[in-house]
Structures are given as structure tokens and as C-alpha cells.
Amino acid sequence: MLSYRDVSKRYGDVIALKGVTLEFQPGKIHALLGPNGSGKSTLMKIALGLVKPDSGSVRVYDVDPVRDPIGARRLIGYVPEEVLIYESLTPSEWFSFVGSIYGMDRELLRERLDTLIRVFKMEEHMGKLGGELSLGNKRKVMLITALMKEPKVLILDEPFSGLDPEVARVLKEILRRKAEEGVVIFSTHILELAEAVADDITILRYGEVVARGPISELRGKKDLESYFMEVTGLSSELQELLKAL
């Protein structure tokens, strides 16, 4: 389980999170939605101890990421929004390196990697340097890195961006399977994707939770886009701006 209690975070004058209380349970796929700058990445980074909250408490199962960021990272597979890979290592070299850092058994590592590499269709790219890979393949390397240790918590920031439709389908299936055993959270700006993949959604606006629950219950009779526009207040803001234009 991943929980946040009354968590706030400011960057100088900018309020990124304001008294957020949330719980993400295993068994469901959770989508995190919100306009640009609403605090989604900050919320995710706090779970990993990459960003320290100003107040409130966070638990990754029973680990406090503020006191024990390494312990929290052991439990979490994380894919950030930005592409971060070693340009001068091949995916093969990179996975062996990460496997040794995780202290994974070589045979187990090989088995898991074999499957993930085939599932993500990366066989022919394993010998290329990271810097030579296409953007989508770099993102696949990051996804495999997050999945290879079979984490209890999977946190993916915009994981579907740059993936072709076939790989996106594979990823949806993986998330579904992972959610059976652990916590799965992903952020997205694509509402159709949240609707197609997630069980529960959480919508942030200006660092506050403005809606939360099963998609079907939240939107009621509306389509998710209209619901999103309504709770984030974007609809009226946009209409005003368009009028001004």
C-alpha cells in the first residue's frame, strides 16, 4: 500500500501539493490525472524520497521514504516522465549492471529479462548503445528496468508516451497483471487511456485532490473529458480565454 497523509510541498512560492491525503491499495490500477503543474510528478517523487514533503507523512507499505529513501526505492519500480538512460551502455550491459545493484540472482535475472525483452520486442536492440536507441525504445528500457525486480509498487509517470499501439497494449496487460499482486499507479494526460486502463482515478488541481474513485462512479452519465473539465475548472477558464481570443 502507498499512503499520503496531509502532505504539502512548496517550491519557493509555488504550491505543488496542499494537504493531500490519499491511499493507493493493491488490486487496482490507479490513474493520476490533472492539468500541467497540478502536482502529479511531485506526488510520485515523494514516494521515492526524491522530493521531501514540507509536512505530512508518507508510507510505502511500512517504509517512510523521508527517513529511508533506499528502503522505499527497493519496493518501488519507477519510470519518470523524462527519458533517463545511460547513452554509452547497451541495454544488455545496463540490465546486468542494474541486476547486480539489486543483488538479483543471475539465473532469475536472465529468466525475467528474457521474457520482458521478448514482450517489449527489444531483441534486436540489445546490442545497440543507449544513445542510438529511438525514443520509444529508450522508454522500453526504462520500463524493463522498473519491472525486472518485480516491485511491490509500480509508479509510472506518463508511461504510454512514445509507445506504439502494440507495445501500449502489452503495457496495459502488464499493468493489469501487476495490479493483482501490488500497487500500480500511472499518470497520464490522455483521458481515453485512463478510462481504458485504470479502475480508479485521482484528479489533482493546483496540488489538491479534486476527485477520486472508480471511473464509472465519478463521471456518472458524462464522458470523462467533460467530467475532467468540470472538476478542474478548465472548461470555464478555457471558454473565457477563447472568448477573449
Which residues bind to ligand ATP, rule: CB under 6 A?
Answer: 11, 14, 16, 34, 36-42, 81
Least CB distance from residue 39 to ligand ATP, whole Å?
A: 4
d(CA 94, CA 85): 9
Nearest CB to ligand ATP, comparing residues 180 and 237: 237
Judged by beta carbon, residue 122 or residue 224, the one nearer ligand ATP is 224
The Cα 162–Cα 16 span in angstroms is 26
Q: Assign residue 39 a region (left: φ > 0; alpha: ψ between -120 and 50; beta: otherwise).
A: left
Residue 64 Cβ, how far from ligand ATP at the closest point, in Å?
Answer: 20
| Mode of pairing for the β-strands spanning 2-11 and 55-60 | antiparallel
Q: Work out how close the CB of 167 gets to ligand ATP at its nearest, in angstroms, rounded to a whole number.
A: 22
Contacts of 97 (CB under 8 A, 6+ apart): 89
Q: What whole-number distance in Å separates Cα of residue 128 and Cα of residue 41?
A: 30
Q: Do 4 and 58 form a contact (C-beta atoms < 8 A)? A: yes
Residue 42 or 137 with smaller CB distance to ligand ATP: 42
Do residues 6 and 21 touch, judged by C-beta distance below 8 A? Answer: yes
State in angstroms the smallest separation of the CB of 156 from ligand ATP: 13
- Output 36 or 88, the one with its CB closest to ligand ATP: 36
Smallest gap from Cβ 154 to ligand ATP, in A, equals 17
